[in-house]
Amino acid sequence: GENVEQHPSTLSVQEGDSAVIKCTYSDSASNYFPWYKQELGKGPQLIIDIRSNVGEKKDQRIAVTLNKTAKHFSLHITETQPEDSAVYLCAASKTGGGNKLTFGTGTQLKVEL
Amino acid sequence: KAGVTQTPRYLIKTRGQQVTLSCSPISGHRSVSWYQQTPGQGLQFLFEYFSETQRNKGNFPGRFSGRQFSNSRSEMNVSTLELGDSALYLCASSLEGLAGVDTQYFGPGTRLTVL
């Protein structure tokens, strides 16, 4: 089955800096890659997603890039703010697999003042 | 639109008991998926229901089961609880996932503690 690896497990940046989180997947048939932000005591919240027919997608300070050949995708957060501090989860899924998501292990992002 | 709701939010049970968790999806969503989140294993897929039928199943023992009602609301049941079942149980809803993978929206979860 699909396996998703996520790095780093923890990331500490200064406010205003950029943060990059990387995920690799094993199933070349995967074609949908969402990113979720999970704050303490809450459920994951979708922040951005990308499908395999595009290489990059951007939404204000957040961007996701996808490299299908290398089977990896990354989350980029620019101009980080303290409220960006949370656990970020990447996931992968494929058409025909219903709505099953395989998640990475998460990255604890801390934005320091 | 109201988001995904889960009840109860917190639950304490003892080993050997059984538990039922409930999930109400976003209005119009017909697919409901369940996930278990633990510090050691992360977020793992339990099963997905669509049109009252289980469409997908993860690698969990038969003690974990679920169902979906005609209004798309879903319940999951865990029988003969074990200490290792302590986790945050998350429900996610999406439209259909027939033509492809639909965006999943998560509820706040039910925190289950097994003593």
Q: Which residue has the higher pLDDT, A1 or B113?
A: B113
pLDDT level of residue B98 (50, 70, 90 thresholds)? low
Cα(A24)–Cα(B24) distance, integer angstroms: 32
- Quick one: average pLDDT of B20-37? 96
Q: Does B90 sit within 8 Å of A49, measured CB to CB? A: no
Query: Helix or strand or coil: residue A82?
Result: helix
Q: Does A43 sit within 8 Å of B107, measured CB to CB? A: yes
Q: How many CB pairs under 8 A join A and B?
A: 72
- Quick one: average pLDDT of A8-33? 96
Helix ranges (H only) for chain B are none
- B42 → closest Cβ in A31, A34, A106: A106
Residues 6+ apart with CB under 8 A from B84: B114
pLDDT of residue B88: 97
User: What's the pLDDT tens digit per position in A38-72?
Assistant: 999 899 999 999 998 889 999 999 999 999 999 99
Q: Does B102 sit within 8 Å of A100, measured CB to CB? A: no
pLDDT of residue B99: 65
Residues 6+ apart with CB under 8 A from B42: A103, A104, A105, A106
Q: Which residue has the higher pLDDT, B76 or B101?
A: B76
Beta strand residue intervals within A26-92, DSSP E? 32-38, 45-51, 56-59, 62-67, 72-77, 86-92
Residue B42 near chain A (CB below 8 Å): yes
pLDDT of residue B102: 84
pLDDT of residue A54: 83
Identify the residue whose tokens are 């094993």.
A26
